[in-house]
Amino acid sequence: MSICCHSLGAIMNAVKPSATLALAQQARDLKAMGVTVYNFTVGEPDFDPPHAVIEAAHKAIDNGCHKYTPADGLPELKQAIASWHEKEYGFRPEPAEIVASPGAKTAIAETFMVLLDEDSEVIITAPYWVSYPTMVKIGHGEPVIVTPDATSGYGISAQDIEAAITPKTAAILLNSPSNPSGAIIPPEEIDAIMALAEKHDIWVITDDIYNKLVYDGVKWDSPAKREKWRERVIVINGVSKTYAMTGWRIGWMVGPEKVARAVARLQGQMTSNPTAVAQMAAAAVLQDEQAVEEVEHMRQSFEKRRNLIVDLLNEIPGVSCTRPKGAFYVFADVGELMKRKGFDADMKLCSDIIEKAHVVTVPGSAFGLGEHLRFSFATDEQTIIDGAKALKEYALAE
C-alpha cells in the first residue's frame, strides 16, 4: 500500500505531545507488574455526580432524547444556564448570549478561534492550564506568558499584565481559582485588570470552571460580576468540576451576542451539538436544590483533603507549598529536592519518583513553571497519606 508523501498541516507545529504521556505509561507498567501506585495526576472529582444527573439521563433516554439538537444547545439547557448564571454572577444572560459546548475546553478553543486574527496576542499567566497556549496557537494567535512572583502564591496582578500589553494584545485570559496553583484573584486586582482592558480595548476571557471549589471562607469573584465591563467579558464554565461530570462533556460560554453567535456558527461546522442526553442531565442538575447540598459536601471533603496534603507535603525535605484557596490541586516547589537528587529538570524528578516511590504527579514545566510538581487532591485520604509517606521516604533516601 502506498503512503501519501504530503506533510501534515502547519497547525500541527503548535500541537505538542503531552509532557506526561511517558510518565503515565511508566505508571501503567508498574501497575501491570502488581505494584501499588499513588496517583495524584487526575484532575477530576472522585465522587459520583448528584442524583439529579442520573435521574434526568434515564428520563431523557426513556423519552427518546436521541436526536440532533440546536448546535448551541437545547433551549432547556440554555434556560438552566441562564438561571444558574444569574445566581452566580448577578445577571441573567439572554439565550442568544449562551453557547453550550461539548465541554468547557471546546468553548475556550472556539472562543479563541472567533476572536483572534493572525499574530493576535493573548496574555496568559503562569502557571497555566496546559492547553491554554496550544489553543491560542490553534486560533492563529500568539500566547504571551506572564509569570507572577511566587511569594504571592502565584496570584496575578494588574501590574504584571500591564507590562505585557502591546498593540497586538487581543485578549487577557484569567483562570480563578487556578489550575494548577489554586490561586484566586482578589476583587481589587480584577477591577484593575478590567480598567486596563477597557483602556486598551482588550477582551477578557475568564475560565471559571472551579468557581464553586473555594476554601477558607474566601469569597469568589469574577470580571463578569461587573456590569460596566460586561460587554468585553466572556465567561467559560461547565458542569465537569462542580458536579463531578467530567465525562459528560457539557460546558458553555456566556458573552456578548455577536461573540456567542460567531461561536455557535463555528461549532455548527465543527462538532454540531453537545450530546443530547448529557444536555438534559446538565439542565436538571443546574436547577436541583439537592445538588447544592451534594456539591457542598464535595467542597468540604476537598477542603479537608487540601489541609491534609499540604501539611504532609510540607513535612518532606526539599518540598514546600502554599495552601491553595481553590480548585483541587497543590503546586509544590521541589527545587531543593531536585538539587538533593541531582536533577536539572522536574520531568526527570517525576520519572525517578514514579520508579522509586511509585508516586505519580505532573511536572510544573507542563504548566509553564519548572521546579514544581502538581498534586491533585481529588483522591481519597488514604492515598494522600500513603503517597506522602512514600514520597517522604524517597526524599530522605541517599
Q: Hey, what domains does the chain have and what are their CATH numbers?
A: 14-43+291-396 (3.90.1150.10), 51-287 (3.40.640.10)
Q: pLDDT (tens digit, 9 = 90+) per residue, 14-43?
A: 888 776 677 778 888 888 999 999 999 988
The closest of 394, 391, 398, 392 to 38, measured between CA atoms, is 391
Residues in CB range of 145: below 8 A, 6 or more apart: 124, 125, 126, 128, 133, 368
3-state secondary structure 2-53: CCCCCCCCHHHHHCCCCCCHHHHHHHHHHHHCCCCCEECCCCCCCCCCCHHH
β-pairing verdict for 372-376 and 329-333? antiparallel
Return the pLDDT at 3.
64
Q: pLDDT (tens digit, 9 = 90+) per residue, 123-181?
A: 999 999 999 999 999 999 999 999 987 666 677 889 999 999 999 999 999 999 999 99
Return the pLDDT at 261.
98
Q: Cα–Cα distance between 74 and 68 in angstroms, integer?
A: 10
Tell me the pTM: 0.95
Return the pLDDT at 322.
93
Under-50 pLDDT residues of the chain: none
The closest of 66, 95, 99 to 268, measured between CA atoms, is 99
The separation between CA 238 and the C-alpha centre of its own chain, rounded to angstroms, equals: 10
Counting residues of the chain whose pLDDT is more than 70, the rounded percentage is: 97
Element (H, E) at 246: none
Element (H, E) at 250: none
